[in-house]
Amino acid sequence: MPNILSLRTLLHCITLLSALTHLPAVANNLDPLSPTEIARATQRANPVAQTTRSSSTTPAPELLLVERHPNAKGQTTRLADVYTYDYSTNETLIDVVDLDTNQVISRRRERNLQLPLTANELQRASALIFADDEQRSLLDAEFKRITGQTLSNPAQQLQVKAFVFHASSLPEQLNAASQQCGLQRCAQVLLYTADSVVFEVSPIVNLSAGVITQNIGF
């Protein structure tokens, strides 16, 4: 009798394993997007994301973020949210892409929605600061004060960090140009020496207009 029961148990296990191995391989809807899905979603998103800049003063649209769209209860479709900043209108575009059909199923624009800066935007903010004669003079003086040395190559001698700046964060310290930040895309830039000593000068860069609006002191 023990041998018969063991044989039945073994046959049951084999049948169960066989059934499991024949289940369709479907991605868990809660899983983050794969690199392939991100690439497909980006490709299918709003065409403005693939256009070139329309003029020398208007930056090209900036792809900000691609992430999994939360599913509604009972929904099994894999969806992706694609966020793009349209500098020509100062709006954030949100496209929802169906990854099963590779189709955009919804599209909207929002003002005052400022997602974190991209690496490209950080690089552009730095370039605007270093190319501005007034800013460069301030940075030269600050670097000399801190290190006693000459700032000859900012790209190599400085560390640069930045975050999205909203006028609402410092309403009483801003000039008229900086008060547009939030409606337009701006960055507050923090500068450090190679050994991480922070500058007491922090420029506000309006990336939409391509100008430095003012400096915030610490």
pLDDT in tens, 59-111: 999 999 999 998 877 778 899 999 999 999 999 999 999 999 999 999 999 99
Asked if residue 3 belongs to a domain, the reply is: no
- Strand-pair category, 103-110 with 79-86: unpaired
User: How many domains does the chain fold into?
Assistant: 2
Domain check: are 47 and 128 in the same one? Answer: no
Domain that holds residue 157: 119-217
Flag the least confident range among 3-17, 43-57, 67-81, 188-202.
3-17
The answer to whether 65 and 83 have CB atoms below 8 angstroms apart is yes
Domain check: are 93 and 167 in the same one? Answer: no
Domain check: are 154 and 74 in the same one? Answer: no
Asked if residue 211 belongs to a domain, the reply is: yes
The predicted model scores a pTM of: 0.81
Asked if residue 21 belongs to a domain, the reply is: no
Asked if residue 37 belongs to a domain, the reply is: yes
Q: In this structure, what token pair is assigned to residue 48?
A: 């403005």
Residue 61: CATH number of its domain: 3.10.450.40
